[in-house]
Amino acid sequence: MRRFMFATIAIAAGLLSAAAAPPGSNSLNPATRTICVDGSGQARAAVCQATASRLDGRDDICQCPIGRAVEAPVCGPGERPQAATRAFERARRLAAEDGTLVGDLFRGRSMCVAPRNR
């Protein structure tokens, strides 16, 4: 009976953790990155602290010395970040007011960012 209960709990925990992850993301290739967006909409460098593991590509803590921290989607295969035009920066500033760029579009394309260099 005890063995059955532990097996049930382990299966339920595995299903919950799989359901909580965003589609298409894993620890090697996270689905989002933290960027900093200043008052004019320009992207600034975020200071991030990551784990010392090559297997886990996620950032632990990110801070913005200039601007505010915003979650941005990582560009998928064959997708490139948009050019930093004045119109794009203005749209990004407005879209970043809710703290995320996930799901936001500019001229029909995602406001994605390049994956983190390792």
Q: Tokens 């975020």 sit at which residue?
A: 46
Number of domains in the chain: 1
Which residues, listed in sequence order, are joined to residue 32 by a DSSP beta bridge? 73
Q: Is residue 10 part of a domain?
A: no
What tens digit of pLDDT does each residue of 18-75 get?
A: 444 444 444 455 788 899 999 999 998 889 887 776 666 666 788 999 999 999 999 9
Task: State how far the alpha carbon of 25 is from the alpha carbons of 13, 44, 63, 111, in Å.
Answer: 18, 24, 22, 17
Does residue 4 or residue 37 have the better pLDDT? 37
User: H or E segment at 88?
Assistant: helix 86-95
* Nearest-angstrom CA–CA distance, 69 and 61: 11
Range of the domain at 75: 24-110
Q: Is residue 38 part of a domain?
A: yes
* Nearest-angstrom CA–CA distance, 110 and 99: 16
Q: Is residue 4 part of a domain?
A: no
Q: Is residue 57 part of a domain?
A: yes
User: What is the number of residues in the chain?
Assistant: 118
What tens digit of pLDDT does each residue of 87-115 get?
A: 999 999 999 999 999 999 999 999 999 88
